[in-house]
């Protein structure tokens, strides 16, 4: 198999304590991958720290494998990833990875995700398939995650066990075929949105079991507004999907 250029997109907002370990783990487990840190003007100086780590890494490796995209403020998870996707497409990468900086996504699981990219347009690191597990995650967060995924399945018919998962690898060619300008999701429902778009474009989605570890430093970005956004958007998408199904059925019946 020919070598593939991989870009790992890591969005950050106040991740100063966890980012160095996340980047070191990526260097250890996927040393040939490049990293793009997308920082939303973190008040704790995460962006500046990322620049120093990138410079030190370039000096030791002889090439610029870590770069930092600085944005002017907290603009949301979805827009951070879309910015990273655009950079990856502009620079000719073959595979684009989404990965958190807080340690919840283990770099040692990434090679298994990448190994499945030839089989699918989107590979999801899943907590809720056989072999997947969570460590130190509060019960209420587990229930929220499972409920969100069940609701997406019921409302939209989304055939994915962990559609809210944020640890995933895309074929760049699949992203290039999507209307990224139309992606308006900002919070965690961005993940549902993207899986839905890949499937709608005829792409294949596979899930690989991972171990999800609750963050050791910092605070979760989950908030009431993020939950409400996901609930509203999934409900709207589901209603649109069911209306389209009814119209399609009506057209088929009319031809008989």
Q: How many domains does the chain have?
A: 1
DSSP 107: G
Instruction: Provide DSSP, the chain.
Output: -----EEEEEEESS-TTTHHHHHHHHHHH-TT-EEEEEE---TTSHHHHHHHHHHHHHHHHSS--EEEEE-SS---HHHHHHHHHHHHHHTT-SEEEE--SSSSB-GGGHHHHHHTGGG-SEEEEESSSTT-EEES--HHHHHHHHHHHHHHHHHH----TTTT---EEEEHHHHHTS-GGG----STHHHHHHHHHHHHTT--EEEEE-EEE--SSS-----HHHHHHHHHHHHHHHHHHHHHHHHHHHHHHHH-
pLDDT at residue 1, as a whole number: 38
pTM (2 d.p.): 0.90
- 146, part of any domain: yes
pLDDT at residue 57, as a whole number: 96
87-98 pLDDT per residue, tens: 999 999 999 999
pLDDT at residue 2, as a whole number: 47
pLDDT at residue 223, as a whole number: 66
- 153, part of any domain: yes
- 97, part of any domain: yes
Determine the structural domain holding residue 69 and report its residue range.
6-255
Domain containing residue 186: CATH number: 3.90.550.10
- 218, part of any domain: yes
Distance CA 145, CA 214 (A): 13
Pair of tokens at residue 48: 């500046």
Q: Identify the segments of the chain with pLDDT beneath 50.
A: 1-2
pLDDT at residue 184, as a whole number: 82
- 1, part of any domain: no
């Amino acid at each position: 198999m020919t070598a593939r250029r991989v870009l790992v997109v890591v969005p950050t907002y106040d991740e100063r304590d966890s980012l160095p370990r996340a980047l070191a783990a990526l260097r250890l487990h996927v040393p040939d991958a490049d990293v793009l840190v997308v920082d939303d003007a973190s008040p704790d100086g995460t962006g500046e720290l990322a620049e120093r780590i990138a410079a030190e890494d370039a000096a030791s490796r002889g090439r610029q494998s870590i770069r930092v995209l600085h944005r002017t403020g907290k603009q949301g998870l979805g827009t951070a990833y879309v910015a990273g996707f655009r950079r990856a497409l502009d620079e000719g990468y073959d595979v684009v990875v989404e990965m958190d900086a807080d340690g919840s996504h283990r770099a040692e699981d990434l090679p298994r995700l990448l190994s499945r990219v030839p089989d699918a347009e989107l590979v999801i690191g899943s907590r809720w398939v056989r072999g997947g597990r969570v460590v130190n995650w509060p019960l209420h967060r587990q229930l929220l995650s499972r409920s969100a995924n069940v609701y997406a399945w019921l409302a939209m018919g989304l055939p994915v066990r962990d559609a809210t998962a944020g640890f995933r690898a895309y074929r760049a060619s699949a992203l290039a075929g999507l209307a990224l300008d139309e992606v308006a999701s900002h919070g965690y429902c961005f993940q549902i949105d993207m899986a839905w778009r890949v499937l709608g474009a005829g792409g294949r989605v596979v899930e690989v079991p991972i171990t999800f570890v609750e963050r050791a430093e910092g605070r979760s970005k989950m908030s009431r507004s993020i939950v409400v956004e996901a609930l509203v958007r999934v409900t709207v998408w589901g209603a649109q999907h069911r209306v389209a199904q009814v119209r399609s059925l009506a057209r088929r019946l009319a031809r008989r």
